[in-house]
Amino acid sequence: MILAFDDYALDRERRELRRGQVLLNLEPKVFDLLAYLIEQRDRVVSRDDLIASVWDGRIVSESALASCINAARTAVADDGTNQRLIKTIPRKGIRFVGTVHEVEQIEAKRVVPAGLALPEKPSIAVLPFQNLSSDPDQEYFADGIVDDIITGLSRIRWLFVIARNSSFAYKGKALGVTQVGRELGVRYILDGTVRKAGDRVRVSTQLIEADSAGHLWGERYERQLEDIFALQDEITLSVLGAIEPSLRKAEIERVKRKRPDNLGAYDLVLQAMPLVHSHIAQDALLAIPHLNKALELQPDYTLAHAMLAWCYHFRFSRAGLREEDRLAAVRHARSAIVDGDDATALGMAGFVISLDEHDHATAINIFDRALSLSPSNIFALSCSALVLSWLGEPEKAIERATSAIRLSPFDFLNYLAYNALAVAHFHTAAFEKSFEAASKSVQFNPRFSVSRAFLTAALVGLERKSDAEAEAQRVLALDPSFSVKQFAVTVGIEPRVYEPLAAAWKRAGLPND
């Protein structure tokens, strides 16, 4: 039985949450918390109820509980201010207040890209490794191992690598590798298991040729936890060796990158990552303490600097335009490019340096460096596409955004690429294409007011004035401070790009000041 509400459908048996036709990828504890709240609808659920039902009575910190509740709200386009579906009852608990009904089957069938041809070069998807640890809360650790393997593989120029969030759409799904390979358009599949116990970790992996389901290579590793990064490199190099026996040693060495020396810092960054990826100012507030603590443990941690640059950018652009936030964003972005061998950090940093420092030449150089290191990096492609769209280079922006989406067809982060497409197509007066891109961005990240602002503009371009006015009100509901002039502070780079958007927003009723 499926529980449906608004445009969502929650399937406890399959552990799936969908918004319309989009499958939302939730962390296991976030899914369990949301499912429990929906099942207990209209009943006030206390902190003790949540811990007993979701965490099986184990000790949970207040910050971990708050982060999980916030992520559940994000999943259903809610927040702590509006409390449209998940309402806080002071000194008592929380309650799901949406109207829920039961359906026999999921109304929106699973949508997959149709007819994805295999790329000319070798292609691979790394599926989520199964967490075999006794503690289910170690799920994020297993996910972190996979994330680093994907990053290492993405640095190989001749290899087509599906980005992390599309691979993770298959988490917990019992699908055959042939079906997964066909849906993602890849030749090879890597999957495995992780067991973490005390200071030791055991990882088993296998590489499969998707079309034939033939087993190409498999290995089992057991290491001290302090050797985890060396283990990730070893797995990555073994995969490359199985795919391309003639690979030159110099190319293999490109897989390796500077990792944090401190495992505590690494752990904190993994915990902050889902909050940073939402692009929401409220989530940034929760992520910043984790990232600052990571930098206390390891001051030269490049990815932590890049993620903090994003967090402070969100705060600056959508939480008051405070100069101290802008300066912090730029400072951390500059720190993230000192050791310029992490394409993800470079992509995030280039985005901030362009929008908050307006040093566009440096940003373009940073993007080019990131893509020379890792042509498959979703952040370098999407962030550069966004900047290029605002700079008035629609053809190049469309090319990079389209590449990002092809590399990661199910990726939650595709809202970034779709926003680049929305701006680029609006600039060329292709309003129908702008509308389609903005609509998909809203599907992937319904809480993000900027995606809805682009949808508003596209509706104006299509002369759908009443729909545009309604969408403008949704923008203001998500971000009451939104104004045309405020938004221009970061993205008003090229007048011939921004002024038509500004005019469309004013026509839809969004405030100028």
N-terminal to C-terminal alpha carbon distance within the chain: 49
Report the pLDDT value the prediction gives residue 243, as an integer from 0 to 100.
Answer: 57
In 104-230, the DSSP E strands lie at: 123-126, 130-131, 160-161, 188-197, 200-209, 214-224
10 within 8 A of 34, measured Cβ to Cβ: yes
Report the pLDDT value the prediction gives residue 106, as an integer from 0 to 100.
Answer: 41
- Enter the tokens of residue 188: 């090879």
Report the pLDDT value the prediction gives residue 398, as an integer from 0 to 100.
Answer: 96
Kindly tell me the number of DSSP H helices and DSSP E strands found in the chain. 22, 13
78 within 8 A of 84, measured Cβ to Cβ: yes
What domains can be seen in the chain, in order of their start residue? 2-103 (1.10.10.10), 123-253 (3.40.50.10610), 260-374 (1.25.40.10), 410-513 (1.25.40.10)
Cα 225 to Cα 80, 153, 261, 267, 443: the distances in Å are 37, 22, 12, 12, 39
C-alpha to C-alpha distance for 442 and 446, rounded to whole angstroms: 5
C-alpha to C-alpha distance for 33 and 31, rounded to whole angstroms: 6
| 17: enclosing H helix or E strand | strand 16-19
If you write DSSP's letter for every residue of 75-96 in order, what string do you get?
HTT--TTT-SSEEEETTTEEEE
37 within 8 A of 72, measured Cβ to Cβ: yes
- Enter the tokens of residue 248: 């030159």
135 within 8 A of 55, measured Cβ to Cβ: no
Report the pLDDT value the prediction gives residue 407, as an integer from 0 to 100.
Answer: 78
Instruction: Please report, in tens digits, the pLDDT of each residue of the chain (513 residues total).
Output: 688 887 788 888 777 887 765 666 677 788 888 999 999 987 899 988 888 888 877 777 777 788 788 878 877 878 777 788 898 988 888 999 888 887 755 443 444 444 467 777 778 888 988 888 766 666 777 787 788 788 777 777 777 888 877 788 787 776 788 888 888 888 888 888 888 777 788 888 888 888 777 777 777 878 787 777 777 777 766 665 555 543 333 334 444 445 566 778 888 887 788 788 777 778 888 889 999 999 999 898 999 999 999 999 988 987 788 999 999 999 999 999 987 778 889 999 999 999 999 999 999 999 999 988 888 788 899 999 999 999 999 999 999 999 888 877 777 788 899 999 999 999 999 999 999 999 999 888 888 889 999 999 999 999 999 999 999 999 998 888 899 999 999 998 999 999 999 999 999 999 998
C-alpha to C-alpha distance for 380 and 90, rounded to whole angstroms: 43
Report the pLDDT value the prediction gives residue 501, as an integer from 0 to 100.
Answer: 95
Beta bridge partners of 467: none
Q: Collapsing DSSP states into helix, strand and coil, what is residue 237?
A: helix
Report the pLDDT value the prediction gives residue 242, as an integer from 0 to 100.
Answer: 58
Report the pLDDT value the prediction gives residue 509, as an integer from 0 to 100.
Answer: 94
Report the pLDDT value the prediction gives residue 12, as an integer from 0 to 100.
Answer: 81
Beta bridge partners of 221: 203
Report the pLDDT value the prediction gives residue 323, as an integer from 0 to 100.
Answer: 93
C-alpha to C-alpha distance for 127 and 147, rounded to whole angstroms: 10
Phi/psi of residue 296, nearest 5 degrees: -65, -40
- Enter the tokens of residue 310: 């994003």
383 within 8 A of 350, measured Cβ to Cβ: yes
Q: Collapsing DSSP states into helix, strand and coil, what is residue 104?
A: coil
Please, which residues have CB within 8 angstroms of residue 480's CB and are 6 or more apart in sequence?
A: none
Print the SS3 string covering 333-396: HHHHCCCCCCHHHHHHHHHHHHHHHCCHHHHHHHHHHHHHHCCCCHHHHHHHHHHHHHCCCHHH
C-alpha to C-alpha distance for 53 and 49, rounded to whole angstroms: 6
- Enter the tokens of residue 78: 């809610």
Report the pLDDT value the prediction gives residue 241, as an integer from 0 to 100.
Answer: 57
Is the full-model pTM beyond 0.75?
Answer: no
Beta bridge partners of 8: 5, 19
- For 298, what's the count of Cα atoms within 13 Å in the CB-facing half-sphere? 21
Report the pLDDT value the prediction gives residue 21, as an integer from 0 to 100.
Answer: 54
